[in-house]
Structures are given as C-alpha cells and as structure tokens.
Amino acid sequence: NAGVMQNPRHLVRRRGQEARLRCSPMKGHSHVYWYRQLPEEGLKFMVYLQKENIIDESGMPKERFSAEFPKEGPSILRIQQVVRGDSAAYFCASSPRGSDVQSSTDTQYFGPGTRLTVL
C-alpha cells in the first residue's frame, strides 16, 4: 500500500525558471493538500484540492503560484519565475475525505516532500 508519492525529491532552479512539483495521493484518496516549509519554520498550508477543483487556495501567494489536481494524473504545484525566497520544502498530503477531522479517515497523510533550491 504505497503512501503519498512526491517527485522530484530535490529540484534546483535558477531565478526566473519554472518549477513543477508533482504529488500522487494514496490509493483511494481524493483530497490533496499542499504545504510549504520555509527554513526554520513549521509547515504552512497553501492549498486544498479535490479532483478537478480548487477548494481553498487562501495560503498560496497570489502571483506565480498555481495548483491543479486533474481527473487523471497527479496533483501539480507550479511556480513560475522562481525567486530565491521560493527555496523551501514543499509537502503534499492526502486524505480520503475533506474537512471533517473528527473521523480518523480524514487524517492527512504526508509525502516525503520536494526540496526546491533556487540559485
């Protein structure tokens, strides 16, 4: 039973390039969450997606960042024209259901993260 998969695990980009981070949720999970961990900080919520829908992107920067979770394939977090401040670890999590955390089936399960370095 594979867990949440993320690739690449490490990504190096030069300023101005694009970064694409991929996340495959656990089997049977249709809810995906992206978090960012800046150096010396805790993980911070960015966006919540269901298949083909963005439910909540309140934690995502308004410019250069976008996310999708298509009907087929992994969820993609896309960062255009990267800057040095985008260097961070980006974690993806998935759950079978969404907003109700009172059930154990709603707990979020995390992937290993993608470490983005912008030169």
What is the contact surface with another protein in residues (CB under 8 A)?
3-4, 6, 9, 31, 33, 35, 37, 40-45, 48, 56, 59, 91, 93, 95, 98-102, 104, 106-113
Q: Are the C-beta atoms of residues 1 and 62 closer than 8 Å to each other?
A: no
Strand intervals (E) in 42-108? 44-50, 53-56, 65-68, 75-79, 88-95
13 or 31: CB nearest another protein: 31
17 or 109: CB nearest another protein: 109
**Structure token pair of residue 82:** 């990267």
81 or 107: CB nearest another protein: 107
Q: d(Cα 14, Cα 101) in Å, to the nearest integer? A: 39
Q: How far is the CB of 35 from another protein (least distance, A)?
A: 8
17 or 108: CB nearest another protein: 108
Q: How far is the CB of 60 from another protein (least distance, A)?
A: 12
Using CA atoms, how far residue 66 sits from 7, 18, 57, 78, in Å, is 17, 11, 9, 5
Q: How far is the CB of 16 from another protein (least distance, A)?
A: 29
